[in-house]
Amino acid sequence: MSKGVTKQWPAVWPCSARPPHIPCVTQRAAIARAAIMNGPAITILRGLPVPQLAGLLMLMLGVALTEGVGILALVPMLALLGQAASALPSWAEPFARLVDLPMLLVFFVALVAGRAALQFALSLAQQRAQLKLIDRWRHEVFAALVRANWRTLSAMRRSDHVSLIVTSIDRLGYGFSNLLQIIAMAVTLGAIWIVALWLAPALAAVAVVGGLIVIAGFIPLKRKAHRLGVALGQRYAAVQGSLDESLRAMRLIKSHGREAAAIATMQGGMTELRSAQIAFHKAASRSRALLHVGAAILLATIIALASARDVPTSVLLPLIVLFGRSVPLLDALQQGTQQWAHSAPALAEAQAVLDTARAGAEPPVGDALPVVPRQSIALDNATIDHDGRHRPAVDAITLTLPVATTTALVGPSGAGKSTLADLFGGLLEPDGGDLVVDGKRLRGEGTVHWRRSVAYVHQEPVLFPASIRENMLWAEPDASDPQIETALRDAAAGFVFDLPSGVDTFVGDAGCQLSGGERQRIALARALLRDPALLILDEATSALDAASEAAIADAIGRMKGVRTVLIVAHRGMLTDLADRIVHMRDGRIEHVENRRKVVA
Ligand SMILES: Nc1ncnc2c1ncn2[C@@H]1O[C@H](COP(=O)(O)OP(=O)(O)OP(=O)(O)O)[C@@H](O)[C@H]1O
């Protein structure tokens, strides 16, 4: 339905008389109810356990109640001071007879102390709830990302996730704290207004109506704050993305002399972020100024009315105190509402990533042992068809890797070699056809389980900023020292034992304290430590010099007849080792070159 039609809706349409296509009053109420129940405030509050939420509400009520009673106690106190005692309201007279001033003062101090204790407990409980919420969202988003399948992950932007997990979820926590403040302030304001209505109904009614008008005035401001919040989230993601990309591309930036451009891009992002922050601050400050002017007008009206109606001082003074307390509360309520509207889009951001990641979730496989194939690993008529591409990356390929043989995939760039390797490795599930291990067709859980039997070595090995030993143990936490040593020697990485700190040598950020060839041999050793049933080398030597390539080729050569190896490479020393070379083009197999006899 168009916006124009929506605007023509009358406020109330009885269900019996409604024109077709226009929701009647009951339906509109249901729509509004659904919007509130599915809105960010309720969604976020639902995340809290009921006892915790109830505890917070009780504390809020306690604070509000003590505030109201404290102000109310001013009435007999003023009377006992001799101020306008004759005009003491009837409800206060018994108190004035029962208590004397010292007793009332002690009660007042005890009340304020009790209120301070309640506020202390409330502030602690709020902080705990906020931190718990932040932890929960961070955990859920990260866990959902880690559990998502590779295809889903490769369609998402990594830096957006960093921005979401680090910055937006923090904003969400801050917004949640604002939401609790809003509730607390609304409860306190309610208590104050009830007391005021009791003291002087007519005057307080003017104040309450004025206050409600002010609250109604928050609505458009809230919408604006929401828009600014969305913009701020995007700016944060842009700055974080540009920072992440620039830091990763530092070598490229330096070698291409693009330092000034990198700084300018970052600066541009920061400027946009800054203007989004200033725009929000401006909107918040403007509405605060308007609130203060409105409050002054309201106070003047109340005093003028009080003087016209001859209200006694013992009532007027507490009323002014009540009103004076309402103004900062309204101010804080308005600021809190704007802050909340500003932070709430972070929830939609987090929810969107959660939904996408969960839609692409892989089935859990528990503690099942790796599969050990005895005969073959095969693809039967397997196809991968990426969205938005003219042709499949892998087009109905059938290929068998007999156990303990070495197969090389060659072909021009974009032929589909890596995609085929990812299918064999169980990283991608075919859109059509099957992965078949020892005659068993694997799907879902079976494919994820199969991945435990596979190890990859990529062109750019990922090494963590830790020692060589820690990098090895990351793959196989229970590996013993002799197992680590064997894997390193099998991967032609014996150089490690000549380093002064041996396996305890720190490799630097992303392994930058090692040469490319050394990094790659450690990555190979780490893969071998898993004793994989299928070892995939995807362009593993294409960035290395001849000596490093020869060292790796030597290590792979020693695995011949023992381990099943799949090599993705352009022609070179590794392909020379293959029992079979599979030539690919445009997602299909062009022909297979048998170098040695392979039993399929
Ligand atoms: N995540 C993806 N989304 C869309 N298309 C993709 C995706 N991954 C790969 N492709 C496309 O699939 C085709 C095959 O890619 P693949 O990486 O398998 O080729 P390759 O033979 O390994 O190339 P290279 O030798 O350059 O690494 C290419 O056209 C590529 O653009």
Ligand 1 site, residue 570, Cβ cutoff 6 A: no
Q: Residues 6 or more apart from 423 whose CB is under 8 A from it? A: 379, 382, 384, 394, 430, 435
Name the 3-class secondary structure at 137.
helix
What are the CA-CA distances from residue 548 to residues 323, 464, 487 (Å)?
A: 80, 21, 17
Structural domain count of the chain: 2
Distance 393 CA to ligand 1 centre (A): 6
| Residue 321 shares a structural domain with residue 441 | no
Is residue 6 in a domain?
no
Closest C-alpha to ligand 1, atom 30: 414
What ipTM, to 2 d.p.? 0.96
Name the 3-class secondary structure at 475.
helix
Ligand 1 site, residue 419, Cβ cutoff 6 A: yes
Is residue 32 in a domain?
no
Which residue from 152, 384, 386 has its CB within 8 A of the most atoms of ligand 1, so it is best to mutate? Answer: 386
Which residue from 418, 459, 536 has its CB within 8 A of the most atoms of ligand 1, so it is best to mutate? Answer: 418
For the CA of 151, the closest atom of ligand 1 is 1
Query: How far is residue 185's CA from residue 179's CA, in Å, rounded to a whole number?
Result: 10
| Residue 326 shares a structural domain with residue 446 | no
Query: How far is residue 90's CA from residue 435's CA, in Å, rounded to a whole number?
Result: 88
Ligand 1 site, residue 163, Cβ cutoff 6 A: no
Domain that residue 339 falls in: 39-359
| Residue 308 shares a structural domain with residue 167 | yes
Is residue 26 in a domain?
no
- Residue-by-residue pLDDT tens, the chain, 600 positions: 444 444 455 555 556 665 666 666 666 666 666 666 667 778 778 778 888 888 988 898 888 888 878 877 777 777 677 654 445 666 666 766 677 778 878 888 898 899 899 989 988 998 888 888 888 889 999 999 989 998 888 888 777 788 788 888 888 888 888 888 888 888 888 888 787 787 777 777 877 787 777 767 766 776 777 777 778 777 887 887 788 778 777 766 776 677 888 888 888 888 888 888 888 778 777 777 777 777 778 778 877 887 787 777 767 777 777 777 777 777 788 778 877 877 888 888 888 888 999 999 988 877 778 888 999 999 999 999 988 788 999 999 999 999 999 999 999 989 999 999 999 999 999 999 999 999 999 998 899 999 989 999 988 888 888 899 999 999 888 999 999 999 999 888 889 999 998 899 998 777 778 888 889 899 999 999 988 999 999 988 877 778 878 888 888 888 888 899 999 987 777 788 899 999 999 999 999 988 765 554
Is residue 370 in a domain?
no
Which residue from 150, 154, 391, 417 has its CB within 8 A of the most atoms of ligand 1, so it is best to mutate? Answer: 417
| Residue 351 shares a structural domain with residue 266 | yes
Is residue 347 in a domain?
yes
Is residue 172 in a domain?
yes
Ligand 1 site, residue 418, Cβ cutoff 6 A: yes
Closest C-alpha to ligand 1, atom 7: 386
How many Cα atoms within 13 Å fall on the side-chain side of residue 187?
18
Evaluate whether 479 touches 473 at the Cβ level (below 8 Å).
yes
| Residue 408 shares a structural domain with residue 330 | no
